[in-house]
């Protein structure tokens, strides 16, 4: 009974208390039972230290036993253990503290990259607080987890616990049958003819560009991360539930007056409340992941996502209620809307009566469509500001295929090779999901041979323990010099065009997986390419230069000087913004950019 209750991800406190009981209470009970059976009685001055010593001894024995079991299983599979980080303090507490400190100022994912370099391997066991936690930047291991060994992994309990209050039963937070049900429901809405209708993109692109034009006329910079998040949210909300949330009409952060929000700029009003809640939930989920499975210790009395989840639910619940009422009304009147004319929300309301399931699925879709696409557009704008030659070349291609006023079409996107190259190169350097995780199911397994990043002396494959989290890093794999060449950190769209360089990726597609891979590959990939291409065509028809306005960035969002100190390498030595990750990639403090109208 208790076991099944602790398996429900919303009972994370109970699960944590049960773990605590197993560690501290069970050994003491056993010890006292032995004393009682043997009729031994000790004064508490001796009993308490004895209890303590027994708990320590019990825990050490459990860890040793686990090691023995894992070694035995690894041997039986002709595999070896994943190399382990060995800190100076028990439980690698020193490593954990060092990592937590480094997270505050380090370049995105650099904490992990340094560990890989130090240990000269692409897959490592952090063993933080005696818990196995595998990290990998190995493209072969990530491919196995996501695709070829898909059946052996799932999102697992720890990920669901972290996200339950925020994403609940939505597609990102479920496995097996519920996940399949969500995917089957969503798939028809991403069919070719649905996503080739660009009217919605036109409407919200026009609104976004009118805002940019007003700012450009007064030479005022714009905070693009916030602007693009509104563009993608408004477009997605109309696409998914036929309703304009109209966040593009709400007040914007003011240049020179903006302060730091949870991720980007702080905003006010109802949009500010929603954005703050949305971003806080993502931030909390990331902090929980860093702490590991003992995070409930810090939230025993208060779930830090509860308040934020309520703000988000208050936004979505009326929409869900209306969809269910409309469906009931239509049913009574004997009206049946054909599937091609239904919105995703109407379709969801037809498949279930449960408002919570509908809301959770909507929320997952909004998260998927807003932050990811906005992230790519933000980084494209940033990179065009750093590389005016790329902006010029892209603009020339846009004018060649669409002229100065015609909208982009599906066929023109297919022919705009440079556009695709710029988008892919941005996705390579700044994948919107830069870090992700899965959990090995109840049986351990063997990972395939490592990629060629580091020489490996022992040829035996690595053993992946059961019920263990594995974190993988598309951002590190996609910047790995061993796979991409020495210029892996440079922004160079030509690598997607020059046949010799493109060959690398064509013969080894697992080195580029911004949309993930395998059965859970992104369902909105084509929608996203279309939306980004559509927007870029319109943007470049009107604007030809973009300049960063770093003087408007909040001071604490500027890249820290130590990124340029000797011994540092990679993009951090020349980055002009602070990329950071909280479920999705973003720019700390947002990006202030001046747009220059084409003559």
> Which of residues 150 and 454 has its CB atom nearest to ligand HEM in the complex?
150
> Which of residues 370 and 588 has its CB atom nearest to ligand HEM in the complex?
370
**By C-alpha distance, which of 592, 584, 591, 590 is closest to 279?**
584
Q: Is 523 in the site for ligand HEM (CB under 6 A)?
A: yes
Burial 455-470 (b: 16+ CB within 10 A, else e): eeeeeebbbbbbebbb
Residue 491's contacts (CB-CB under 8 Å, 6 or more residues apart) are 383, 386, 387, 390, 425, 426, 429
CA distances from 263 to 123, 166, 251, 435, 586 (A): 29, 17, 18, 16, 7
- 441-500: which residues touch ligand HEM (CB under 6 A)? none
> Which of residues 11 and 343 has its CB atom nearest to ligand HEM in the complex?
343
> Which of residues 444 and 524 has its CB atom nearest to ligand HEM in the complex?
524
Q: Is 585 in the site for ligand HEM (CB under 6 A)?
A: no
Shortest Å, Cβ 404 to ligand HEM: 27
Q: Is 291 in the site for ligand HEM (CB under 6 A)?
A: no
**By C-alpha distance, which of 155, 476, 133, 136 is closest to 290?**
133
Does residue 428 contact residue 534 with C-beta atoms inside 8 Å? no
Task: Print the binding letters for residues 371-390 with ligand HEM: x by CB under 6 A, - otherwise.
Answer: -xx--x--------------
Shortest Å, Cβ 518 to ligand HEM: 9
Q: Is 27 in the site for ligand HEM (CB under 6 A)?
A: no
Q: Give the separation between CA 77 and CA 445, rounded to whole angstroms.
A: 8
**By C-alpha distance, which of 106, 146, 115 is closest to 133?**
115
**Residues forming a β-bridge with 134:** 125, 470
Of 183, 313, 441, 504, the residue at the interface with ligand HEM (CB under 6 A) is 183
Pick left, alpha or beta for residue 276 (phi over 0 → left; psi -120 to 50 → alpha; otherwise beta). Answer: alpha
Shortest Å, Cβ 2 to ligand HEM: 30
Residue 587, classed as helix, strand or coil, is: strand
Other C-beta atoms lying within 10 Å of the C-beta of residue 588: 22
Q: Find the part of the chain contacting ligand HEM (CB under 6 A) among 1-9, 160-168, 523-531, 552-560.
A: 523-531
Q: Give the separation between CA 172 and CA 156, rounded to whole angstroms.
A: 11
Shortest Å, Cβ 98 to ligand HEM: 27
Shortest Å, Cβ 171 to ligand HEM: 5
**By C-alpha distance, which of 399, 387, 318, 398 is closest to 359?**
318
H/E run at residue 543:
strand 543-548
Q: Is 171 in the site for ligand HEM (CB under 6 A)?
A: yes
* DSSP string for 84-118: B---SSGGGHHHHHHHHHHHHHSPTTHHHHHHHHH
Q: Is 516 in the site for ligand HEM (CB under 6 A)?
A: yes
> Which of residues 461 and 514 has its CB atom nearest to ligand HEM in the complex?
514
Q: Give the separation between CA 534 and CA 407, rounded to whole angstroms.
A: 7
Shortest Å, Cβ 184 to ligand HEM: 10
Residue 222 is labelled as binding a ligand: no
Of 368, 402, 581, 587, the residue at the interface with ligand HEM (CB under 6 A) is 368
Q: Find the part of the chain contacting ligand HEM (CB under 6 A) among 292-300, 331-339, 454-462, 513-521.
A: 513-521
Q: Find the part of the chain contacting ligand HEM (CB under 6 A) among 217-225, 366-374, 383-391, 485-493.
A: 366-374
H/E run at residue 223:
strand 222-223
> Which of residues 115 and 181 has its CB atom nearest to ligand HEM in the complex?
181
Of 149, 264, 432, 465, the residue at the interface with ligand HEM (CB under 6 A) is 432
> Which of residues 216 and 377 has its CB atom nearest to ligand HEM in the complex?
377
> Which of residues 465 and 514 has its CB atom nearest to ligand HEM in the complex?
514
Q: Is 528 in the site for ligand HEM (CB under 6 A)?
A: yes
Q: Is 520 in the site for ligand HEM (CB under 6 A)?
A: yes
End-to-end CA distance of the chain: 72
Of 128, 365, 380, 582, the residue at the interface with ligand HEM (CB under 6 A) is 365
CA distances from 191 to 127, 197, 552 (A): 44, 11, 42
Q: Give the separation between CA 170 and CA 320, rounded to whole angstroms.
A: 14
Residue with the closest Cβ to ligand HEM?
Answer: 524
Q: Is 62 in the site for ligand HEM (CB under 6 A)?
A: no
H/E run at residue 274:
helix 269-291
Shortest Å, Cβ 183 to ligand HEM: 5
H/E run at residue 472:
strand 469-472
Q: Is 584 in the site for ligand HEM (CB under 6 A)?
A: no
Shortest Å, Cβ 373 to ligand HEM: 5
Shortest Å, Cβ 323 to ligand HEM: 18
Q: Is 236 in the site for ligand HEM (CB under 6 A)?
A: yes
Does residue 467 contact residue 439 with C-beta atoms inside 8 Å? yes
Q: Which residue reads 């002229």 in tokens? A: 403
Known binding positions: 522
Binding residues for heme: 522
- List of residues contacting ligand HEM (CB under 6 A): 171-172, 183, 186, 236, 365, 368-369, 372-373, 376, 432-433, 436, 514-516, 520, 522-524, 527-528
């Amino acid at each position: 009974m208790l076991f099944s209750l602790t398996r429900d991800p919303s009972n994370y406190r109970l699960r944590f208390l049960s773990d605590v009981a197993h560690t501290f209470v069970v050994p003491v009970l056993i010890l006292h039972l032995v004393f009682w059976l043997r009729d031994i009685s000790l004064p508490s001055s001796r009993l308490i230290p004895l209890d303590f010593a027994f708990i320590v001894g019990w825990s050490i024995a459990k860890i040793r036993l686990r090691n023995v079991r894992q070694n035995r299983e690894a041997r039986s599979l002709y595999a070896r253990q994943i190399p382990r980080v060995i800190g100076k303090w028990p439980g690698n507490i020193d490593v954990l503290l060092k990592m937590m400190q480094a997270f505050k100022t380090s370049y995105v994912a650099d904490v992990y990259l340094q560990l890989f370099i130090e240990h000269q391997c692409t897959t490592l066991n952090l063993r933080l607080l005696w818990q196995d936690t595998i990290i990998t930047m190995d493209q072969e291991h990530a491919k196995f987890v996501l695709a070829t060994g898909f059946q052996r992994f799932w999102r697992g309990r720890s990920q669901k616990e972290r996200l339950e209050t925020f994403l609940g039963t939505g597609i990102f937070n479920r496995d097996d049958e519920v996940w399949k049900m969500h995917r089957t429901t969503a798939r028809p809405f991403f069919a070719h003819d649905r996503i080739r209708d660009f009217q919605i993109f036109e409407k919200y692109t026009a609104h976004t560009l009118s805002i940019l034009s007003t700012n450009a006329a007064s030479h005022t910079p714009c905070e693009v991360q916030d602007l693009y998040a509104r563009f993608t949210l408004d477009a997605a909300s109309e696409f998914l539930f036929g309703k304009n949330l109209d966040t593009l009409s709400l007040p914007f952060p003011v240049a020179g007056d903006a302060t730091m929000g949870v991720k980007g700029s702080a905003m006010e009003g109802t949009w500010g409340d929603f954005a703050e809640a949305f971003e806080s939930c993502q931030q909390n989920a990331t902090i929980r992941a860093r702490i590991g499975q003992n995070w409930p210790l810090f939230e025993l009395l208060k779930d830090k996502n509860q308040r934020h989840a309520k703000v988000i639910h208050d936004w979505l619940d009326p929409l869900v209620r209306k969809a269910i009422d409309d469906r009931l009304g239509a049913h009574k009147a004997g009206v049946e809307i054909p599937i091609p004319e239904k919105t995703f929300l109407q379709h969801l309301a037809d498949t279930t009566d449960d408002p919570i399931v509908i809301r959770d699925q909507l929320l997952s879709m909004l998260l998927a469509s807003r932050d990811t696409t906005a992230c790519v557009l933000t980084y494209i704008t940033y990179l065009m500001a750093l590389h005016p030659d790329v902006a010029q070349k892209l603009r020339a291609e846009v004018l060649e295929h669409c002229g100065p006023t015609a909208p982009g079409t599906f066929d023109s996107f297919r022919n705009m090779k440079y556009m695709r190259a710029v988008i892919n190169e941005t996705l390579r350097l700044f994948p919107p999901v830069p870090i992700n995780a899965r959990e090995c199911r109840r049986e351990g397994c063997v990972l395939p041979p490592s990629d060629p990043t580091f020489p490996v002396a022992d040829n035996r494959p690595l053993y992946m323990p059961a019920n263990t989290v594995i974190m993988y890093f598309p951002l590190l794999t996609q910047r790995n010099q061993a796979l991409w060449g020495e210029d892996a950190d440079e922004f160079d769209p030509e690598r997607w065009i020059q046949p010799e360089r493109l060959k690398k990726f064509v013969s080894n597609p697992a080195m580029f997986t911004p949309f993930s891979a395998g059965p859970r590959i992104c369902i909105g990939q084509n929608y996203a390419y279309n939306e980004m291409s559509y927007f870029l065509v319109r943007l470049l028809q009107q604007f030809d230069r973009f300049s960063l306005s770093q003087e408007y960035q909040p001071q604490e969002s500027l890249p820290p000087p130590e990124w340029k100190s000797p011994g540092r390498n990679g993009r951090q030595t020349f980055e002009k913004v602070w990329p950071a990750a909280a479920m999705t990639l973003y720019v700390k403090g947002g990006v202030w950019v001046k747009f220059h109208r084409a003559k």
